[in-house]
C-alpha cells in the first residue's frame, strides 16, 4: 500500500502535468529561436529567448511546489510573446493559436478560482479577436515570404493541436493514476462498504482547505457544506441479545439504507463501531435535513432479520452541522458530534441541528 496520502498524490499529479507543459514549451521555443535566428528577426529572437528563460525559472518554482504561480507566469509569458509574434508576422503565421491553447489551460486549471478562470479566459480571447481584426487584412510589422509564412503557420498549427491532444492524454492518464492510488489508500470498510475514518479525515482536510480559500475571497454564500453524524440507538443491546453476527448484519443493512438515500457526490463513512458520518458537499441545508429525516424514518420502518427467524426494528439518532456565517469550519465535526449526543438525550430516533 502506498504511504502517500491523498493530498500528496494530488500534488504529485500537478507536478507531473506542469512539468510536461513546461518541457513542451521549452522544446517549441528552441525551434522558434532557431527559426528567428535564421530569419534574423532579432526582436522576436529576444522575446522568445526571454520566454525560454522564464520557463527554466518555472522549474525552480515547481520544486518549491508553487504550482499555481508557475502556471500563471507560464501562461502570461506565452500570451505576451505570441501576441507580439502575431503582430510582427501576421495572422497567417498562426501564432495567435497559442492564445486559444492558453485559454484552454486556464479553463482546465484545478487550483484557479472560477471567477479568475472566467476573467483570464475572456481576456485572452479578446486578445485573440483583436489580433484577428488587426492582422487578418495582411498587416504585419515584418514582411515574410508567403511560402515561408505558410510553413511557419503549419508548424504552429501542428504544435498547438498535438500539444493540446498530448496534454489532454496526460491529464487523463494522471487522473486515472490518481483514482487508482486513492482507491489503494482509501480502504473501504469491508463490512458496510462505506469509506473508513482515515479516508474521511483526509478528504475532509482537503475540502476544508478549498473552503477556506472560498471564504477568504468572499464566496461564502455559494457554499453548501454540512456534516451529519448518525449512530444506531441501543446497539449494544442488539449485540448482547442476538450476538455480534446479528449486530454486523444490522450495521451492514443500516449502511445500505443510508447510501441509498444520499447523493452519489456525498461522502459516506463508517466513523466508529456503530457510528456513521455523511459529508454533504453540494447539498443545501434544507436538502440535507430532508435526506436525514428520510433516513431516520426509513430505518425506523424497516424490518431487520437477525438469526434467520427473528425480526427486529432499529432506530438511529443524528447530529447535524452546516457551514454558515457563524460556523467555524474546523469545528463542524465536533458540533455534529455534540448534537448527536443532544439527540440521544432528547429521546433518540431524531436529528438535532440547533
pLDDT band at residue 2, thresholds of 50, 70 and 90?
very low
**CATH number of the domain encompassing residue 288:** 3.30.70.270
pTM: 0.54
Among 182, 216, 231, the domain boundary falls at 182
Predicted confidence (pLDDT) at residue 160 exceeds the cutoff of 60:
yes
Q: Are residues 129 and 225 in the same domain?
A: no
Percentage, residues of the chain above pLDDT 70: 92
Q: How many domains does the chain have?
A: 2
354 classed as catalytic = no
Residue 192 lies in a domain: no
The residue from 274, 293, 300, 354 that is catalytic is 274
Q: Compute the distance between CA of residue 10 and CA of residue 24 in angstroms, rounded to an integer.
A: 22
Q: Are residues 48 and 163 in the same domain?
A: yes
H or E element in which residue 260 lies: helix 244-261
Q: Are residues 256 and 219 in the same domain?
A: yes
Predicted confidence (pLDDT) at residue 174 exceeds the cutoff of 90:
no
For 30-59, how does the pLDDT look when each residue is reduced to its tens digit (9 = 90+)?
A: 999 999 998 899 999 999 999 999 999 999
For 299-321, how does the pLDDT look when each residue is reduced to its tens digit (9 = 90+)?
A: 999 999 888 778 899 999 999 99
Residue 73 neighbours by CB under 8 Å, 6+ apart? 54, 57, 58, 61
Predicted confidence (pLDDT) at residue 26 exceeds the cutoff of 70:
yes
Residue 188 lies in a domain: no
Domain containing residue 318: 197-352
Residue 210 lies in a domain: yes
Question: Higher-confidence residue: 13 or 73?
Answer: 73
Q: Are residues 175 and 248 in the same domain?
A: no
Residue 191 lies in a domain: no
Q: Are residues 17 and 136 in the same domain?
A: yes
Q: Where do we find the cell 450495521?
A: 251
Cα–Cα nearest to 250, from 230, 261, 231, 235: 235
Q: Are residues 125 and 271 in the same domain?
A: no
Residue 37 lies in a domain: yes
Average pLDDT score over residue span 124-131: 91
Question: Higher-confidence residue: 185 or 341?
Answer: 341
Amino acid at each position: 500500500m502506498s504511504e502517500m496520502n491523498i493530498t500528496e498524490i494530488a500534488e504529485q499529479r500537478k507536478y507531473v502535468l506542469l512539468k510536461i507543459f513546461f518541457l513542451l514549451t521549452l522544446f517549441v521555443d528552441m525551434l522558434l529561436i532557431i527559426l528567428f535566428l535564421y530569419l534574423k528577426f532579432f526582436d522576436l529572437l529576444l522575446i522568445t529567448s526571454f520566454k525560454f528563460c522564464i520557463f527554466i525559472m518555472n522549474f525552480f518554482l515547481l520544486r518549491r511546489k508553487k504550482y499555481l504561480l508557475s502556471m500563471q507566469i507560464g501562461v502570461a509569458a506565452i500570451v505576451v510573446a505570441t501576441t507580439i509574434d502575431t503582430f510582427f508576422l501576421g495572422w497567417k503565421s498562426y501564432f495567435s493559436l497559442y492564445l486559444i491553447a492558453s485559454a484552454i489551460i486556464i479553463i482546465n486549471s484545478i487550483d484557479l478560482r472560477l471567477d479568475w478562470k472566467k476573467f483570464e479566459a475572456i481576456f485572452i480571447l479578446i486578445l485573440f479577436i483583436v489580433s484577428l481584426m488587426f492582422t487578418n487584412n495582411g498587416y504585419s510589422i515584418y514582411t515574410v515570404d508567403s511560402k515561408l509564412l505558410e510553413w511557419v503557420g503549419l508548424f504552429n498549427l501542428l504544435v498547438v493541436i498535438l500539444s493540446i491532444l498530448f496534454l489532454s492524454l496526460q491529464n487523463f492518464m494522471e487522473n486515472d493514476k490518481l483514482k487508482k492510488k486513492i482507491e489503494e489508500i482509501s480502504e473501504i470498510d469491508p463490512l458496510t462498504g462505506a469509506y473508513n475514518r482515515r479516508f474521511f479525515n483526509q478528504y475532509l482536510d482537503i475540502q476544508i482547505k478549498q473552503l477556506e480559500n472560498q471564504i477568504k475571497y468572499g464566496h461564502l454564500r455559494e457554499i453548501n457544506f454540512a456534516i451529519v453524524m448518525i449512530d444506531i440507538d441501543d446497539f449494544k443491546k442488539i449485540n448482547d441479545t442476538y450476538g455480534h453476527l446479528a449486530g454486523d448484519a444490522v450495521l451492514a443493512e443500516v449502511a445500505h439504507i443510508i447510501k441509498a438515500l444520499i447523493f452519489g457526490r456525498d461522502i459516506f463513512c463508517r466513523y466508529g463501531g456503530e457510528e456513521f458520518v455523511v459529508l454533504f458537499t453540494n447539498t443545501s441545508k434544507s436538502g440535507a435535513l430532508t435526506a436525514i429525516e428520510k433516513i431516520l424514518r426509513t430505518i425506523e420502518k424497516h424490518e431487520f432479520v437477525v438469526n434467520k427467524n427473528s425480526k427486529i426494528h432499529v432506530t438511529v439518532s443524528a447530529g447535524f452541522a452546516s457551514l454558515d456565517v457563524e460556523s467555524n469550519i474546523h469545528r463542524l465535526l465536533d458540533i455534529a458530534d455534540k448534537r448527536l449526543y443532544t439527540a440521544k438525550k432528547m429521546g433518540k430516533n431524531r436529528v438535532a441541528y440547533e
